[in-house]
Amino acid sequence: MLQPTALSYLVLVIFIAFINSIWIIKAESNFDWKPDINGTNDYSCNLDYCTGNQFEVNRCCACAHIASNVPEFSPLHIEIINNKGESVVILNKKDTGAVNVSITHSNGWLRHFPSNLCDFKSELKSIDFSYNHIKVWANLSCLYMLDSLKLTGNRLTTVSNSTFIGLYSLRSVDLSFNEIRTIDLHMLSDQSIHLFNIDLSNNLMKTLDASNMIIQDKFFCKIDFSHNEIQGLTSKVGTLLENEVHQNGGDILLRNMREEFVFKEWLSDFADAIEDYQTIFSNFRGTYDIKNSKVHCDCRVGRFLKYCPNDFYRIYKSKDNEFICGSPEKLVNISVFGIPLYDDVFDEMICEVWDHCPRKCKCVEQPRRERLL
Ligand SMILES: *[C@@H]1O[C@H](CO)[C@@H](O)[C@H](O)[C@H]1NC(C)=O
Ligand SMILES: *[C@@H]1O[C@H](CO)[C@@H](O)[C@H](O)[C@H]1NC(C)=O
Ligand SMILES: *[C@@H]1O[C@H](CO)[C@@H](O)[C@H](O)[C@H]1NC(C)=O
Ligand SMILES: *[C@@H]1O[C@H](CO)[C@@H](O)[C@H](O)[C@H]1NC(C)=O
Ligand SMILES: CC(=O)N[C@H]1CO[C@H](CO)[C@@H](O)[C@@H]1O
């Protein structure tokens, strides 16, 4: 009686080893867009629809299938417990044992996240607290199964670089119509973060750092910063030139900005050589959409156009996008895409230069003709 049992055990072991090796090969060479949490994440992707190289397949699976595969969730309810807007999630008897739960409580009086959210950490897939009065973040890092987080129309003022830590499964976040003024450097850089869609439109941001858009070894689908007051990009940590950045970027929306964009700080002293421009822009795999925003068209835009025109068009000219100058005077309302690259109007893309400029002179750099005047 012993022998057949031992034999079947051996067969089983071989079979498991075989299955594992298939899984490993598949994960390495083909399909790794989904964060795999304890093997429980089962979002699928149609590989007939998503084709191309590994990067393209990953991006397509992440972006095209986002939130499209979510089945019916059991809804849980919120009970407000006092007039300070504090609340708890309540569990009905019939929901006990549900695998997928969601919580929706919109147009309400929440001022804080419910205090017992972590009790549902292994089932909670979706939160919608749109149009409440939430001002401060709670530590959400326990919610490792959460797929989507909607907080549009609240009163949040910041996003820190620890806000999304531990949210391994989170793919989409809506923070539009809050009062966000600042986001930390490296908002998305932590190993545990795999966010694909973020809506930060209609907030009060004035600056934006490159470390939130160009992220080592990661990509995203779309981050929407439209309808803010962003006047320029910064590059405080200088990630762009120091490290080689792979497979980074995504589509960045900067539409309808109230102020004119200035590229100065972003492309200042550390990037003037042709190679610097080429490194920055050839590495970037996404697009910028700046429709209805205006740009200060100085020598940095001039250099960009001169040094890497193909990257410039690839990055800025997605679909019906525009690139309109708001200044200097002679370029006001001029569309960069509407003019051939050899047109003399690009001579107006200049910057004042102070170094080595003789006293009482005004020196300007004019990249198009590579000269100082
Ligand atoms: C839970 O959700 C996953 C995907 O999010 C789905 O594949 C699974 O069938 C759901 N389970 C139940 C019991 O609804
Ligand atoms: C959030 O909670 C986790 C686990 O309790 C802890 O490790 C982490 O430091 C907390 N994060 C913040 C920003 O307090
Ligand atoms: C998080 O943000 C703070 C403040 O902006 C910054 O000092 C810190 O370096 C950031 N952490 C990481 C890991 O980038
Ligand atoms: C530029 O366009 C805006 C509308 O977008 C208009 O109000 C403004 O007068 C125009 N300025 C010039 C100098 O053409
Ligand atoms: C093996 C493994 O990845 N285990 C993880 C399952 O999820 C919990 C919650 O995030 C982690 O703490 C484990 O490390």
Where residue 242 falls among pLDDT bands split at 50, 70, 90?
A: low
Nearest CA to 250 out of 214, 211, 290, 202 is that of 214
Residue 45 pLDDT greater than 90, yes or no: no
Examine the pLDDT at 42 and tell me if it is beyond 80. no
Q: Is the pLDDT at 81 greater than 60, yes or no? A: yes
Cα(123)–Cα(348) distance, rounded to whole angstroms? 59
pLDDT band per the 50, 70, 90 thresholds, residue 70: low
Residue whose CA is closest, atom 1 of ligand 4?
333
Buried b or exposed e, range 111-130, using 16+ CB within 10 angstroms: bbbbeebbebeebbbbbbbb
pLDDT of residue 59: 76
pLDDT-wise least confident of 41-50, 245-254, 257-266, 330-339:
41-50
- The neighbouring-strand residues paired with 251 are 222, 287
Please write the tens of the pLDDT for every residue from 82-92: 888 788 877 77
Q: What is the mean pLDDT of residues 161-182?
A: 94
- Site to substitute for ligand 2 among 139, 158, 160, 167, most atoms within 8 A of C-beta: 139
**Domains, in order of start, for the chain:** 24-69 (no CATH), 72-204 (3.80.10.10), 205-344 (3.80.10)
Q: Quick one: pLDDT at residue 117?
A: 92
| 224-234: b (≥16 Cβ within 10 Å) or e | bbbbbebbbbb
Best-predicted range by mean pLDDT (154-158, 327-331, 335-339): 154-158
Q: Going by CA atoms, what residue is nearest to atom 9 of ligand 5?
A: 144
Cβ(38) – ligand 5 distance below 6 Å: yes
Q: pLDDT class for 127, splitting at 50, 70, 90?
A: very high
Calculate how far, in angstroms, residue 121's C-alpha sits from the geometric centre of ligand 1: 15
The residue with tokens 């089932």 is 123
Mean pLDDT over 294-306 rounds to 86
Terminal alpha carbon distance of the chain: 96
High-pLDDT (> 70) share of the chain, %: 78
The answer on pLDDT for 251 being more than 60 is yes
> 3-state SS string over 172-209?
EEECCCCCCCEECCCCCCCCCCCCCEEECCCCCCCEEE
pLDDT of 51 = 82
> What pLDDT shows up at residue 28?
32
Whole-number pLDDT of residue 364 = 77
pLDDT for 110 = 92
Question: Does the pLDDT value for residue 259 go beyond 60?
Answer: yes
Q: Give me ligand 1 centre to Cα 131, in Å.
A: 28
Buried b (16+ CB within 10 A) or exposed e, 35-74: beeeeeeebebeeeebeeeeeebbbbbbbebbeeeeeebb
Length of the chain: 373
Read off the pTM. 0.82
Identify which of 118, 121, 141 to mutate to test ligand 2's pocket (most ligand atoms within 8 A of the CB): 141
CA of 373 to the centre of ligand 4 (A): 29
Q: How would residue 93 be classed by pLDDT, with cut points 50, 70 and 90? A: low
Residue 184 has pLDDT above 90, yes or no: yes
